[in-house]
């Protein structure tokens, strides 16, 4: 089991290089309710292949710093995707298609 992501820039049609991605797990912490697990930047292909290896079942959150990537010229300065890990044997790939005024995501393979 692992978690990965891929960010594509819908305006340029190219991988989004250097987008900071934070993976957190919901843990009921009094201050935020989330425990940060990993912080990485997307590579030259817009990917972060190694966000987590063998995560436990639970609810996770990917936070994408779109403001820094798009130079502050975006309606969505941060994109947050919350998802559930139910099958500990499956690979979860969570792609993000990004533009300054829209985004979409899905469960990839």
DSSP 30-57: SSSSEEEEEEEE--TTSEEEEEEESPPS
pLDDT tens per residue, range 21-51: 999 999 876 677 999 999 999 999 999 998 9
Which stretches within the chain are classed as H helix? 66-69
pLDDT of residue 87: 81
Strands (E), the chain: 2-9, 14-15, 20-26, 34-41, 47-53, 58-64, 79-85, 91-99, 102-105
Complete domains list, the chain, with CATH: 2-105 (2.60.40.180)
pLDDT of residue 29: 67
* Under-50 pLDDT residues of the chain: none
């Amino acid at each position: 089991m692992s978690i990965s992501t891929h960010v594509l820039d819908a305006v340029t049609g190219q991988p989004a290089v250097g987008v900071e991605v934070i993976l957190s797990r919901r843990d009921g912490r009094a201050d935020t309710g989330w425990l940060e697990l990993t912080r990485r930047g997307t590579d030259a292909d817009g990917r972060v292949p190694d966000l987590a290896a063998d995560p436990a079942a639970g609810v996770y959150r990917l936070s994408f710093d779109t403001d820094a990537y798009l130079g502050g010229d975006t309606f969505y300065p941060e994109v947050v995707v919350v998802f559930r890990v139910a099958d500990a044997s499956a690979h979860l790939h969570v792609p993000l298609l990004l533009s300054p005024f829209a985004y979409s995501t899905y469960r990839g393979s």
